[in-house]
Amino acid sequence: MNYNQCWLNYSFIENYSDKDLLTELTVCVNENKNDIIIQNAINELTYALKNILGINVSCEYQDGTETEKVTTGIILKLLNDDNSKISEEGYRILQTGKTVRIEAKTGQGLLYGCFDLIRRIGQGLSVRGLDINENPKNNIRMLNHWDNMDGSIERGYSGKSFFFENDEILINERTKDYARLIASVGINATVINNVNVHKAATELITERYLGKLRTIADIFAGYGIKLFLSINFAAPIEIGGLPVSDPLDERVQNWWNDCVKKIYEYIPNFGGFLVKADSEGRPGPFTYGRTHADGANMLARALKPYGGLLIWRCFVYNCMQDWRDYKTDRAKAAYDNFIGLDGKFEDNVVLQIKNGPMDFQVREPVSPLFGGLKNTNMILEVQAAQEYTGQQIDVCYLIPMWKEVLNFETYAKEDGATVADIVSGRAYNQINCGMAAVSNTGNDFNWTGHDLAAANLYGFGRLAWNTELTSEQIALEWIKLTFPHKDKVIKTIFDILMKSWPVYEKYTSPLGIGWMVNPGSHYGPNVDGYEYDRWGTYHRADRNGLGVDRTVRSGTGYAGQYNEPNASMYENIETCPEELLLFFHYVRYDYKLKSGKTLIQHIYDTHFEGAEEVEKMVRDWEDLKGLIPDDVYMRCRERFYKQLENAREWRDRINTYFYRKSGVKDEKNRTIY
């Protein structure tokens, strides 16, 4: 095999305390014995027990109540009663006497239960006395791959696609291992092609590809994962021979109805479509003077008879817009485009909203659509692929960022509604909600380019399952499942992960300003470089200060898109959280921050500190030599050195730029080039 299995590598644990409880396996699933998910659950469990504990268990099948008489070992049981504490995907694990019972209502629940047990054993945790009910907090837990059919991946930093090559679909061992990997952390849906649907990808929804897609969908189904596809809104024109793709045109509607019918003939459990429209050059309903509700509803109606979902992205903005006059603001675009459509969507439409109003910067406020929309299904979109956060060269553990987003209080309801409440469906009693991550995987040996970037993939799944887990818990779980259980290894990697986001933020763009990256690649510093920033309006730096005035009083008015008291909090420079100061306000270089430092001194200091902290990370990593597998050590070491180079370049470029702009010297007289 030319790749590893990330956290499913399963190292042997000597002297595991509860081995005696795990030496037998009884399965009671009655007529569902041949259900592929159940078979996979059993296989995963037996494989893990063999590798982690060296136990060879053989599986005994029993009927109905017979399992009550089993007195030793693991019991997997499909419940046929109405246990209201367990949802369709949930499970219970109960350890009493000499048995460990995993109970669920579905094969999928049993699979998740088995992976839970494996996770505990793999971390060396005791299962004695365990009594837990686990239900996912979010119904949709999805990955979005930005894989193109030529095998490239847009914003991919881990090699090539393992789904596509030369306009063909790849199906191999890796397809199943991918399913195992993501199911093991509870992911239940995936979109395998890029939201920018070009060329051959437009034809994915035709018979040219549907046979192979069915094979993939079946492999995924064995792990409880639904296959979704990104579609091209102009497909009726590009491959259907129609003159338009107007959603209100009957010919277009019929074309999509036929197309969807055909898809479901091949793939009865097909999940649905993901659509990027009217954004960054992609076609959409605006061409015909129609709304995004018109576009989304047309597709949703085609999918509805089969139970399919239509996921429509809110990342809609005009990348060419000129906002020198402060009237237009990219940050306002998603809200402006969608807030008036609240309540106008079919119930199988789900709006997918990026965590911030801009585009996956290292620091952004939460999108005001969360808290704004009240009658629409929503998915929170985050980016595990680190486009603007180090591109899987620089380490940046993103779970703490996502936790902040989830915990954000939107004040949408009198008794409060956090983003987690909204995307879980709790706030408005919705079902078709959840979380999606732009995936960070590729065909690299370790799947994620940087070995430590796998923590983001693992963490996304765990967080989407249970938004209440802490960043620390997730990091520790992942480390223990991935690395040898040595205190120094665990502590060092934990410390690196936990400080990686703040450190990355320090040496890149300050206080929420964002961007300042090389055009096209989006890696490395270039203050005026970002391709859509033609007038310096993304930072508005001049000789006196920098930052974008987004207040209602004197700026773009973006702050007014939030509910109170958030709107006032951001509007007022005194109450605006400092980490977002420059996102919301134009601030003079001599403005005093709460630390007592001037803005310009803060910029200098954080950039020096950030680079120094990366130097320390490199030293700490080098201290792990001999304690972790050599190949992992070397791969990461190489990346840490690149990160160091990057951090120093950011430090120097940013400090020099602002020194030259402001003419203010560093109080500490450090060298600024």
Distance (Å, rounded) from C-alpha 216 to C-alpha 170?
9
Please indicate whether residue 278 is annotated as part of the active site: no
**Per rule CB under 6 A, count of chain residues that contact ligand GCV:** 11
Q: Taking contact as CB under 6 A, which single stretch among the options 173-181, 189-197, 399-407, 410-418 is the one that binds ligand GCV?
A: 189-197
Provide, rounded to whole angstroms, the least separation between the CB of residue 529 and ligand GCV.
14
Decide whether 74 or 331 has the Cβ nearer to ligand GCV.
331
Q: Single out the residue of 458, 479, 485 nearest to residue 115, CA to CA.
A: 458
Burial of 68-88, coded b for 16+ CB within 10 Å and e otherwise, reads eebeebbbbbbbeeeeeebbe
Pick from 16, 164, 315, 345 the residue near ligand GCV by CB under 6 A.
Answer: 315
Distances (CA, A) of 47 to 37, 50, 52, 359: 15, 5, 9, 41
Is residue 359 flagged as an active site residue?
yes
Nearer to ligand GCV, 280 or 495 (CB): 280
161 vs 194, beta carbon nearer ligand GCV: 194
Closest CB to ligand GCV among residues 155, 635 = 155
Binds ligand GCV by CB under 6 A, chosen from 195, 259, 373, 672: 195
Minimum distance of ligand GCV from residue 177's CB (angstroms): 25
Residue closest to 445 by CA, chosen among 300, 251, 248, 635: 635
Does residue 232 contact residue 201 with C-beta atoms inside 8 Å? yes
Nearer residue to ligand GCV within complex by CB, 337 or 446: 337
Tokens at residue 666, please?
């560093």
Can you list the alpha helix ranges (DSSP code H) found in 429-544?
454-465, 471-482, 487-507
Report how far residue 424's alpha carbon sits from residue 79's, in angstroms, rounded to the nearest whole number: 25
Distance CA 135, CA 233 (A): 36
Q: Is 422 left (phi over 0), alpha (psi -120 to 50) or beta?
A: alpha
In the bound complex, what is the minimum distance in angstroms from residue 523's beta carbon to ligand GCV? 12
- Give whichever of 439 and 500 is closer to ligand GCV, judged by the CB atom: 439
Closest distance to ligand GCV from the beta carbon of 630 (Å): 35
In angstroms, the CA 366 to CA 76 distance is: 42
DSSP state of 665: P
Q: Which one, 146 or 408, has the nearer CB to ligand GCV?
A: 146
Q: How far apart are CA 428 and CA 149, in angstroms?
A: 38
Whether a cis peptide bond, with omega within 30° of 0, leads into 525 is no
User: Which bin fits 290, alpha (ψ -120 to 50), beta or left (φ > 0)?
Assistant: beta
Counting contacts by CB under 6 A, is residue 359 touching ligand GCV?
A: yes
- For residue 281, how many other CB atoms are within 10 A of its CB? 9
Catalytic residue among 387, 477, 505, 533: 387
DSSP state of 240: T
Choice among 44, 116, 147, 359 that is catalytic: 359
Q: Which of residues 363-392 bind ligand GCV (CB under 6 A)?
A: 387
- Could you tell me the two tokens for 97? 């006497």
Burial of 32 (0-12, 13-18, 19+ CB in 10 A): middle
When binding is defined by CB under 6 A, the residue of 32, 72, 133, 196 that contacts ligand GCV is 196
Q: Which is nearer to ligand GCV, 232 or 471 (CB)?
A: 232
Give yes or no for a contact between 460 and 402, defined as CB atoms under 8 angstroms apart: yes
Residue 530 CB, shortest distance to ligand GCV, in Å, is: 10
Contacting range for ligand GCV; rule: CB under 6 A; set: 6-14, 190-198, 537-545, 597-605:
190-198
Based on the residue annotation, tell me whether 387 is a catalytic residue of this protein: yes
From residue 527, alpha-carbon distances to 106, 406, 617 in Å are 53, 30, 26
User: Footprint of ligand GCV on residues 140-169 (CB under 6 A)?
Assistant: 146, 154-155
**Of the ranges 62-70, 188-196, 200-208, 632-640, which one interacts with ligand GCV (CB under 6 A)?**
188-196
Minimum distance, C-beta of residue 592 to ligand GCV, in the bound complex (Å): 35
Q: Which is nearer to ligand GCV, 149 or 195 (CB)?
A: 195
At 39, list the tokens.
């078979």
The three-class DSSP label of residue 129 is coil
Q: What is the DSSP string of 582-633?
A: HHH--EETTPBPTTS-BHHHHHHHHHHHHHHHHHHHHHHHHTTTTTS-HHHH
Under the binding rule (CB under 6 A), the answer on residue 312 touching ligand GCV is no
Judged by CB under 6 A, the residue of 276, 301, 304, 330 near ligand GCV is 276
Q: What is the rounded distance in angstroms from the CA atom of residue 420 to the CA atom of residue 409?
A: 9
Selection from 421, 401, 403 nearest residue 412 by Cα: 421
Adjacent-strand bridge partners of 353:
380
Stretch that binds ligand GCV, among 192-200, 289-297, 452-460, 476-484 (CB under 6 A): 192-200
Complex with ligand GCV: residue 146 or 501, whichever CB lies closer: 146
233 lies in the binding site for ligand GCV (CB under 6 A): no
Min separation Cβ 383 and ligand GCV, Å: 8
Nearer to ligand GCV, 197 or 636 (CB): 197
Least distance to ligand GCV, CB of residue 122, Å: 34
Which one of the spans 18-26, 46-54, 132-140, 194-202 is the region binding ligand GCV (CB under 6 A)?
194-202
Strand 91-96 versus strand 98-104 pairing type:
antiparallel
Return the range that interacts with ligand GCV (CB under 6 A); candidates 193-201, 231-239, 295-303, 474-482.
Answer: 193-201
Nearest-CA neighbor of 652 among 473, 507, 548, 530?
507
Shortest separation between residue 519's beta carbon and ligand GCV, angstroms? 11
Please tell me the distance from the alpha carbon of residue 354 to that of residue 356, in angstroms, as a whole number.
5
CB of 276 to ligand GCV, least distance (A): 5
Q: Considering the complex, what minimum distance in angstroms separates the CB of residue 396 from ligand GCV?
A: 17
Residue among 387 and 444 whose Cβ is closer to ligand GCV = 387
Neighbours of 636 (CB within 10 A): 21
Active-site position among 280, 346, 609, 612: 280
Query: What pairing do the DSSP bridges indicate for beta strands 72-78 and 164-165?
Result: unpaired
The distance of closest approach from Cβ of residue 93 to ligand GCV in the complex, given in angstroms and rounded to an integer, is: 38
CA distance 633 to 268: 45
By annotation, the residues acting in catalysis are 280, 359, 387
Binding site for ligand GCV (CB under 6 A): 146, 154-155, 194-196, 276, 280, 315, 359, 387
